[in-house]
A and B are shown apart, each in its own frame.
Chain A
Amino acid sequence: MSGLVIRNLCVTYGSGDRSVPAVRGVDVDVLPGATVGVAGESGCGKSTVALAVLRLLPRTAQITGQLQIEDEDVLTMRWGRLRAVRWAGASIVFQGAMHSLNPVHRVGDQIAEPILLHASPPGGAGSTRTRVDTLLEQVGLARQHARSYPHELSGGQRQRVMIAMALACDPRIIVADEPTTALDVMIQAQILRLLGRLVREHGIGLMMISHDLSVLAHTCDRLMVMYAGRVVEEGPAQEVFRAPRHPYSVGLRAAFPTIGDPGARRRPHGLPGDPPDPAALPTGCSFRPRCDVSEGRCATVDPVLWPVPDVHTGPRAAACVRVLSPTPEPEHGNVVEETDTL
């Protein structure tokens, strides 16, 4: 299978007594042309997965499992081959476009950087410049901007430059790590639409990481929700967003108001409590201490992704015992919404 294939990925920071498992067995498939969203709150391991794709994690991190880009195992790759795969096989759109551009170089030179690093084109400097102009055009910037320095551009323009840079070497996979975090809502929509269009046109697989469930639901085909280093829910994006089955997904969705829903005005309530300390996870389900529908068996059963039975548009799975056999209680989908935690 081509594209990006991640199987049972585990990342542990540190070693011995002080080791902290940041990612505990994650499976992801990103096929060419498909968009997969990864959602979760800070510290759930979603950025660690993004960095693991190109083996950019610090030396203290131990990575196990399988991670393939275009049928090539990234984790066992030699250093020279890894450098070649970085950006040419998979590229990254980083969080803060403000700081991901070097202030002392021109924008055009920075877009040309991966091109020159990977394959000096036969036409020399002239063809590199043509390529930079084409890339700028694709992301909706005038070619004159190639001569600008990063501080002369706005936040949205800078993020466009980052996207142009990500496309520079025709990668098969793009990992977008919270690409719109520092941007306002209007620019955010523009950037997301641009990213979606380019990915479709070029048949690139996109892995989009965000904490905003609604953004992912509108831009991705499939959606994964991560909690404490694991995927707790997975399925077609719209469906997961509309009817989440894991209590954590329910809470994550409720944290954002739904526009056009009068009831949402009272709602936006966050999840009670803090994300768990990855070094000292609770027994059984790691979401148990914050879950308001937890029951006796949650303390003993370590939930894995169980398929959700009543699916309509595609395979779905959630790591909650209630998916296996619902307890004889009122339907929990409403319970959470009615509980007043304010």
Chain B
Amino acid sequence: MSRDLPARRPRALAWQRRRRALAEFWVEFRANRAGVVGLGALLAIGLIALGAPLLIDTDELSVTRATGPILDPPSLSYPLGTDDAGRSVLDLVIWGARVSLTVGFLATLVSVTVGSLVGIVAGHFGGWVANVLMRVTDWFIVVPMLVLAIALAAVLSRSTLTIVIAIGLTAWPPTARVVRAQTLAVEARPYIERARALGAGHVHIMTRHVLPNVMPLVLAQTTLLVASAIIAESTLAFLGLGDPTVVSWGGIIQDARGAGAVSAGLWWYVLPPGIAIAAVALSFTLCGRALERVLNPRLRER
């Protein structure tokens, strides 16, 4: 509502301030070299994943239409060798990034949304509402995440969406706990009492006053969660619960195992997707830690 102020000067000032704040943020972030490396790696992987359709002919990814030799070691024409259907492993790994990143982000979105909702509601209302919600959260923490995800993926139909839901519905409890703790801290501030005195309702307080104040925490939590979501996706795909028609990193490793790559010493088939999973997870973790450090100055000194 304040965005369309008629005077131009204050708006210019606001933009200037915003730009300065962003520059300060970047300086802080840059001071953390690991974070910069992680961010660079993420940008590179993201670009490759987005540009994959330009680099790869989708026919080459089909088991039946692939033209390469079978289980060939790395060569000039196939830098990472080929699999048992004659597909280029490099192409598979590049294409797999698309699914892994998409599932990672979507699953994180689902779990962060559920976690923030549960956390804020539990922190705001307290009493028996908080008790019920936090006991449910405890239950989800105690139940082994992988087993629950397998059960969900088995019950629902086989698709990428199922994997997203399975991961999203099992990864939210830590977010809920962290958000609830922060909500309790924010709710103790006088401006919440002031808002209540204004005649504000529960929804107004939760969305206008609590949410903006827990947002930085949620953001840092998100980047850390993407890494574990990607690993969870690979795990489910490796266990054969993913969509078999979609190429993903976990799926490639499963195919490699099925082809006896481990015992036959076909390292070019097994290692690249595994390294890709580790690299992406590591990049997200590095970024998340750096972000956490910028947003929470108390962590910076150590």
Residues of chain A whose beta carbon lies under 8 Å from any beta carbon of chain B: 54, 56, 82-88, 91-92, 94-96, 99-106, 108-109, 112-114, 117-118, 125, 128-129, 144, 146-147, 165
Q: Are B190 and A96 in contact (CB under 8 A)?
A: yes
Q: Within the assembled complex, what's the spacing in Å between the Cα atoms of A94 and B195?
A: 11
Pairwise interchain contact A147-B199, C-beta atoms closer than 8 A:
no
Q: Give Cα distance in the complex from A101 to B194, angstroms.
A: 8
Give bound CA distance, A146 to B201, whole Å.
Answer: 24
B-chain residues with CB within 8 Å of residue A84 when the two chains form the complex: 199
Q: How large is the interface on B (under 10, 10 to 19, 20 to 34, 35 or more residues)?
A: 20 to 34
Q: Specify which chain B residues have a CB less than 8 angstroms from the CB of A99 in the assembled complex.
A: 189-191
In angstroms, Cα B198 to Cα A102, docked, is 13
List A contacts of B212 (CB < 8 A): 102, 104-105
**Cα of A86 to Cα of B208 in the assembled complex, Å:** 18
Residues in A whose Cβ lies below 8 Å from that of B76: none
Chain B residues with Cβ under 8 A from A102's Cβ? 191, 195, 209, 212-213
B197 part of interface (Cβ distance < 8 Å): yes
Residues in A whose Cβ lies below 8 Å from that of B14: 147
- Interface SS of B by simple majority: helix
Q: Closest Cβ of chain A: how far from B126's Cβ, in Å? A: 9
Beyond known contacts A86-B199, A108-B2: 4 more, CB 8 A cutoff:
A100-B190, A105-B208, A114-B198, A129-B5
Pick the most buried of A86, A95, A100, A146: most chain B CB atoms within 10 A of its CB: A100
8 contacts between A and B (CB under 8 A): A83-B199, A87-B198, A87-B199, A91-B197, A94-B194, A113-B200, A147-B10, A165-B198
Q: In whole Å, how far is A85's beta carbon from the nearest beta carbon of chain B?
A: 8
Interface residues of B (CB under 8 A from A): 1-2, 4-5, 10, 13-14, 189-191, 193-201, 204, 208-209, 212-213
Q: Once the chains bind, are B10 and A83 in contact (CB under 8 Å)? A: no
A96 to B201, CA, bound (A): 22
Cβ-closest chain A residue relative to B10? A147
Give min CB distance, B275 to chain A, whole Å: 41
B280: min CB distance to chain A, Å: 32
Closest to B194 in A: A100
- In the complex the two chains form, is B199's CB within 8 Å of A56's CB? no
- Whether B190 and A56, one on each chain, are in contact in the complex, defined by CB atoms closer than 8 angstroms, is no
A residues less than 8 Å from B208 (CB atoms) = 105, 113
A128: B residues at CB distance < 8 A: 1
Q: How far is the CA of A109 from the CA of B2 in the complex (A)?
A: 7
B198 touches A56 (CB 8 A): no
In whole angstroms, what is the CA distance A69 to B35 when docked? 58
Report B204 CB to chain A, min CB distance, Å.
7
* CA of A56 to CA of B198, assembled, Å: 11
Enumerate chain B residues within 8 angstroms of A56, measured Cβ to Cβ: 193, 196-197
Which residues of A are found within 8 Å of B13, using beta-carbon distances? 147
| Set of chain B residues within 8 Å of A88, measured between Cβ atoms | 199
- The answer to whether A92 and B197 touch across the interface, beta carbons within 8 angstroms, is yes
Q: Give the 4 A-B CB pairs with smallest separation, nearest first.
A: A86-B199, A99-B190, A83-B199, A104-B212
Check A117 against B1 for contact (C-beta < 8 Å): no
Contact between B10 and A144, CB atoms less than 8 A apart: yes
Q: Within the complex, what minimum Cβ distance (angstroms) separates B158 from chain A?
A: 43
Q: Which one of B2, B196, B213 contacts A146 once the chains associate, using CB atoms below 8 Å?
A: B2
Question: Of A106, A117, A129, which is within 8 A of B200 by CB?
Answer: A117
Q: How far is the CA of A117 from the CA of B209 in the complex (A)?
A: 14
Q: Are the CB atoms of B2 and A147 closer together than 8 Å? A: yes
**What is the CA–CA distance of A67 and B2 in the complex, to the nearest angstrom?**
38
A105 to chain B: which residues have CB within 8 Å? 208, 212
Residue of B nearest to A104 (CB): B212
Known: A56-B193, A101-B191, A147-B14. A125 touches B198 (CB 8 A): no
Query: Could you say which residues of chain A place their CB within 8 Å of the CB of B213?
Result: 102-104
B1 to chain A, nearest CB (A): 5
From the candidates B1, B195, B197, name the one contacting A112 in the complex (CB within 8 A).
Answer: B1
CB distance from A153 to the nearest CB of B (A): 14
Cα separation A105 to B191 with both chains bound (whole Å)? 11
A59 to chain B, nearest CB (A): 8
CA distance A146 to B13 in the complex (A): 13
Q: Given that A109-B2, A147-B14 are known contacts, is A117 also in contact with B199, CB under 8 Å in the complex? A: yes
CA distance A54 to B196 in the complex (A): 10
Q: Of A86, A95, A106, which one neighbours B198 at CB under 8 angstroms?
A: A86
**A113/B198 in contact, CB under 8 A:** yes
CB distance from B136 to the nearest CB of A (A): 23
- Rounded to whole Å, the gap between the CB of B96 and the closest CB of chain A is 40
Bound complex: CA of A94 vs CA of B189, how far in Å? 12
CA distance A72 to B297 in the complex (A): 50
Whether the Cβ atoms of B1 and A54 lie closer than 8 Å is no
CB distance from A109 to the nearest CB of B (A): 6
Complex Cα–Cα for A100 and B212 (A): 16
Q: Nearest Cβ distance between residue A255 and chain B, in whole angstroms? A: 27
Is B201's CB under 8 angstroms from A83's CB?
yes
Complex CA gap A105/B196 in Å reads 16
Q: When chains A and B are docked, how far (Å) is the Cα of A91 from the Cα of B195?
A: 11
